[in-house]
Structure 1
Amino acid sequence: MSAITSPSPGSLTLDRSARQPLVRIAGDWTLAHYGALRREVERLLPSLDAHCQVELERLGALDTAGAGLLVELLGQERIAAIEAWGPPLPAARLALLRSVAAALNRPEAPQPIQGYAFGDVLAHIGQAVSTLWRQQRALLGFIGLTLETLALSLPRPRRWRLTSLTVHIEQTGLDAIPIVALLTFLVGAVVAFLGATVLADFGATIYTVNLVGFSFLREFGVLLAAILLAGRSASAFAAQIGAMKSNEEIDAIRTLGLSPIELLVLPRVLAMLITLPILTFIGMLSGIAGGLAVCVLTLDISPIMFFTIMQRDIAINHFLVGLGKAPVFAFLIAVIGCLEGFKVSGSAQSVGEHTTSSVVQAIFMVILLDAIAALFFMEMGW
């Protein structure tokens, strides 16, 4: 036992004089002697095979570094069966050797499958379609949950959040009037310029009035207002709810026995349902005003003639078609913004990603539904 416990540098020798090669392991196999032992292991390892005898009787101290060298030298299988061929070692030393062997016996990482260009494109398309399908399923489920909560809250006036509703009406509606009015006025002027330029070749510049009236009453008024609110309000909803999610405020709301849908989603949805039709009406008026300014300044069409042509040629149903799309767009924009806020995982990066996703999804859904509605109303003759 004195040879085992005496402090001495570790050593490794190979005796070839016997019938079978004999590997003698002696001394302390510790970190202090790791460099010399590493060189000896690398020197003798190519000469060893599975039939070599191993002598461990004079093995001294052992730590993790030395155990790693022994595992590398003797191999996983021989270490696993050390009790069958080796001397009786202390339990702690056996446990150390087996733990190091298990840690080093990790499966190699699988080599990435080499794909090809067409297969990668198909895989990317499949992933995109799968992601879109999951998003639409989540959106439909959240719409159903919102409508259910709204139906349960409407008959109970005590549960209405009038203060929150008023605040969101101001933020999404009143504060957005200047940008909506300015943008639609400029777009109306651009549409009138374009119409006047194209129709001048046919001697029909007078129909610029019809072009401006039809385009803003049916499409541009509601579409521009919805896109502006999708970028302005949907992102704000996602960021606000996402920040609350990351700060665990929504968990606190649930702990208090309150419904996050009723407390956070319904005021935003109702505010959008109120403000987007109003902003759509303002956008229609501003776009027509922009077209009127161009007609008066460049086409010598008086304001009286402008409004006379609109009253004569443009029916009221075009105004109703444009205004009727506003509540649908408002509901979708608000629901998408709130849903993306609830999807936040807790980090600042997640807040930014879902805020961006809310804007992209809201604008995409607005344009998609507007195109479907335009085809439907055209086929119906409205």
Structure 2
Amino acid sequence: MALKHRLIEAGFAAFRVSGLHRAVAPLTRGRGVILTFHRVRPFAPPTPGYAPNRLLEVEPDFFDAALALVRRLGFDFVSLAEARRRLVDGGPRFAAVTFDDGYRDTRDFALPILEKHAAPATVFFATGFLDRSARLWWLELEEALRRLDVATVAIDGRAVAVEARTPAEKTAAFERIYWALRARPEEELLAATGELARAAGVSSAEIAAELFMDWDEAAAFVERPLVAAGAHSRAHRMLAKGPKAEALAEMAGSKAALERRFGRAVEAFAYPVGDPTSAGRREFALAREAGFACAVTTRPGMLYAAHAAHLWALPRVSVNGMWQSLGDLESLLSGAPLLLWNRGRRVNVD
């Protein structure tokens, strides 16, 4: 992962120095963009030097400046429903803001900034986070390693002990364990992180209660004029790793539960994790079958005319907390780095 970070930083630096992205932007920017956020809050890690999920959060001042930049670059802020319409029918270049998971700080810190910029947002709720029944395994892992000096975890049936005494060791341990488990079946991932959480006295339900909106809070939040609800499954499972019937139940079940509680149609779905190992052509077809008008991935990319034929496999641009730079965000929004990442393909659904 450190190598990946260095390569990304080198790519951003090349665009900053050359300015090439500005020259090619009229050709590469496309019709619009769907922006991905998770958390917006002041950065204050409990353990200085250890914040392995930092990529999932940006600070309020940067969020404010980022939205101002998006508008300055000529994007109209629109709802995801309007983005879908413009993608199909044409219209001015657009930006749709989305938030995954339903963190409480989306309401507390992001909403006032969205209102300042008159920017609609879709919040994708996992119903298991709202009722505290789903596992937050990546947060369990972070908190367990914060508390433990040595982490013993089972990977592919073999016990592995990892030193985690200093912030640097904890960060390295998180990276090692996270990516090793991400490659394994989800049941193994959940069992291993659950065992670590128990050893460290970490409760997923307590984490959810501290960080995520509950049903009542979410119902009140989506009453705000700029906020729309989307579905993010029930248990936040990587759908491609499970049976077809289970994946469909996760999608359709979350849609039905949210519609029943909020009293309004839920038309958009966000695939949990959302990368090619978590959502592929089978899941794209299932999202359509479940009754969603569109669905979004975490595959990086701008939106082009050809995406009108792939409404259940839409790419997004993740605003990563590791790179809170307006210059880097401007490069991304040119579309040029994303086309390079996708090897020249404007549509990536395979």
Indicate the structure with greater strand content: 2
Indicate the structure with greater helix content: 1
- With structure 1 as the length reference, what TM-score do the two structures score? 0.20
Pick 1 or 2: higher relative contact order, CA cutoff 8 A, min separation 6: 2
Rg comparison, structure with higher value: 1
